[in-house]
Structure 1
Amino acid sequence: MTEEKKHIMGHVMACGTQFMWGATFVSTKVLLTHFSPVEVLFMRSILAFAALFAFYPHLLKVKEKKQELYFAGAALCGIVLYFLLENTALTMTYASNVGIIVTCAPFFVAVMVSVFYKSERPDRSFYIGFVIAMIGVIMISRNGQTSLHLNPLGDFLALLAMFSWGIYSVILKKISEWEYPMVAVTRRFYFYGILFLIPIVAMQKKIGSISAFADKSVIFNILFLGVAASAIGFLAWNTSTKWIGAVKTSVYIYVSPIVTVLLSVVILHEKLTAVSVMGAVLILGGLILSQQKSKLNAHFTEERRKFR
């Protein structure tokens, strides 16, 4: 595959992944009536590992043993801490608050990646697009509500989740430079994720009932979360990060609130408001702008060259 095709496919996969991840709230809501958040994450990880192993049954032979620390770190930050912090935040603060904070992920990723990689420092267009998109996210999340309710601890946990995702993006970018098969890399992430989750699951006082699997909807939703959202989703997201960079990939997180609104209308039969439509338009505008190279920056760069 040529570099140009990889670049195009990277954008397509990143956008497609967010459409799929935006649908996970419905499946998660169904499963949380039978299982705890940790159990859901544990089952997702096991299914993702199994699916990736079935697709690529080859062992990953690392070149240096210290690289295992990077794989373990990525699993800890991107799979375990991110989801546990986010799910815990949802139990302590308003979903709209978490939705707004989670969509700030591109900013966290941009700042953290730019600290370690000068080649991926975003320009003005990224930050302008971020502000526009966030206005749209706030419009969708608040949906006409004028009062803002805060829960310091819950909101702080959501911020920690974004910080964890930023670290994951930095580690993933480093791992992508090693030219390992991304399917094997993603599978290794889930391997370490399962190891980290085992003691957490074991410490739970109450365990979900096995009889819940008699419900076909439970089986369908856990398969969707494990195989589609986790195995395929993370593989596509990690590959996109490798092909177009962590910052450009993270910008597609803006798509998630739009998917949530559409699913709420189609599945939950919620009313589509003018505020939501305006918010979606601003999000799309911010996303497009964030992916463009700033002409203003290019102009300033050219002017500086003239005076050298």
Structure 2
Amino acid sequence: MKNKTMIGHILAFVCIMIWGSTFVSSKILLDTFTPIELLFIRFLIGFITLCILSPKILKLENRKDEIWYILSGLTGVFLYYFIESTALVYTYATNVGVIISIAPFFTSILAYLCFKDEPFKINFVVGFIVAFIGIFFISFNGQQMHLSPKGDILTIVAAIMWAIYSVVLKKVNALGHTSIQNTKRIFAWGLFFMTLSLPILGFDVSIDEILIPRNLLNLLFLGVIACAGCFVIWNHSCSILGSVRTNQYVYLNPIATIIFSVIILHEKITPCIVLGTILTLSGLIISEYKKES
């Protein structure tokens, strides 16, 4: 049991580290594609990858179970990513980085309301506050915070969407199918909702733009690894640890971003970043340690 739990923690950590690096690829690709175009292409690549890995069509014993896949695709794939991308148009990336970190808090509240087996304890609140302060130091790094109500509210909504997805995912995992099968079906519904939005939001992408080497490599990274690979291991981690414990790793996302900023963009590490990293890791330890006791 301990080995299985450790695997769950490792999977969540690896996933967050990869997701923390995606900003580099996204920044490059947004020079060519709009947010919805990039979103659709990366998840389409991810879906095709999962179909190759698991070509068998998942047949549900109870058609009513489809609602959990529909809700997962709507909230965790389409709405979360689209709302977050839209928020970046109206507010600063630093604001989004800080505000989105409240997703674990919303997840804990929803899990407590929906499933009494995931108790909402005081240690989680303390850990959340400590980690949130740390994320604040990392994201703003001594700069002045600029409030943008429209963008900031959209980011809060995005965090709520991810929390809903995390809770609904528990229902999906309880159906007993493999993580790849579940993720593939969730992606299918996410792409369905994206397709409905394309006539309104617009989609003007040429194959020549996709085949530009720089674009193609980054699209493959986002689609195959960050989407297909990470969603599978994240969903599997949730099935092992539960949605609340797995989502605590969201606190590490800004740290992962800082690491790749230093490695790839050669950005400097400042005292604020060091302090923020210590606080964020401390918050995660506080939340997890009490739960193990």
Work out whether residues 254 and 283 of structure 1, in 8 Å CA contact, stay in contact via their aligned partners in 2: yes
Q: Distance in 1 between matches of 2:120 and 2:236?
A: 20
- Counterpart of 2:197 in structure 1 is 200
Work out whether residues 36 and 208 of structure 1, in 8 Å CA contact, stay in contact via their aligned partners in 2: no
Q: Equivalent of 2:156, from 156, 159, 169? A: 159
Alignment RMSD, CA only?
1.4
Q: How does 1:165-204 map to 2 (within 5 A)?
A: 165-204=162-201
Q: How does 1:225-304 map to 2 (within 5 A)?
A: 225-293=222-290
Work out whether residues 74 and 172 of structure 1, in 8 Å CA contact, stay in contact via their aligned partners in 2: yes
Q: Equivalent of 1:123, from 118, 121, 124? A: 121
> What is the one-letter code of the residue matched to 2:240?
W
> What is the one-letter code of the residue matched to 1:61?
K
Runs of 4+ in 1 over 3 A off after TM superposition: none
Q: Distance in 2 between matches of 1:204 and 1:74?
A: 22
- Counterpart of 1:301 in structure 2 is none
Q: Distance in 1 between matches of 2:77 and 2:69?
A: 11
Q: How does 1:31-110 map to 2 (within 5 A)?
A: 31-110=29-108
Q: How does 1:206-221 map to 2 (within 5 A)?
A: 207-221=204-218
Work out whether residues 133 and 282 of structure 1, in 8 Å CA contact, stay in contact via their aligned partners in 2: yes
Work out whether residues 143 and 276 of structure 1, in 8 Å CA contact, stay in contact via their aligned partners in 2: yes
Q: Distance in 1 between matches of 2:91 and 2:109?
A: 26
Q: Distance in 1 between matches of 2:160 and 2:114?
A: 15
* Higher mean C-alpha deviation, range 246-255 or range 61-70: 61-70
> Residue 30 and residue 292 in structure 1: after superposition, are their counterparts in 2 closer, same or farther (change >3 A)?
same
Work out whether residues 99 and 156 of structure 2, in 8 Å CA contact, stay in contact via their aligned partners in 1: yes
> What is the one-letter code of the residue matched to 1:182?
S
Q: Distance in 2 between matches of 1:59 and 1:210?
A: 28
Work out whether residues 122 and 247 of structure 1, in 8 Å CA contact, stay in contact via their aligned partners in 2: no
- Do residues 28 (structure 1) and 21 (structure 2) align? no
What do the CA deviations read for 1:254-292 (whole angstroms, capped 9, x no partner)?
111011111112211221101101101111111111111
| Pairwise CA distance, 1:294 | 5.7
| Pairwise CA distance, 1:205 | 4.2
> What is the one-letter code of the residue matched to 2:135?
V
User: 2:289 is paired with a residue of what secondary structure?
Assistant: coil
> Residue 216 and residue 200 in structure 1: after superposition, are their counterparts in 2 closer, same or farther (change >3 A)?
same
Work out whether residues 110 and 247 of structure 1, in 8 Å CA contact, stay in contact via their aligned partners in 2: yes
Q: Distance in 1 between matches of 2:168 and 2:260?
A: 32
| Pairwise CA distance, 1:176 | 1.1
Structure 2: 5+ residue stretches without partners: none
> Residue 66 and residue 110 in structure 1: after superposition, are their counterparts in 2 closer, same or farther (change >3 A)?
same
Work out whether residues 37 and 203 of structure 2, in 8 Å CA contact, stay in contact via their aligned partners in 1: no
What do the CA deviations read for 1:9-40 (whole angstroms, capped 9, x no partner)?
11100011000000111111111111111111
- Counterpart of 1:134 in structure 2 is 132
> What is the one-letter code of the residue matched to 1:240?
S
Structure 1: 5+ residue stretches without partners: 299-308
What do the CA deviations read for 1:30-64 (whole angstroms, capped 9, x no partner)?
11111111111111111111111111121211111
Higher Rg: 1
Q: Equivalent of 1:148, from 121, 145, 158? A: 145
User: 2:59 is paired with a residue of what secondary structure?
Assistant: coil
Work out whether residues 71 and 165 of structure 2, in 8 Å CA contact, stay in contact via their aligned partners in 1: yes
> Residue 198 and residue 263 in structure 1: after superposition, are their counterparts in 2 closer, same or farther (change >3 A)?
same
| Pairwise CA distance, 1:206 | 5.7
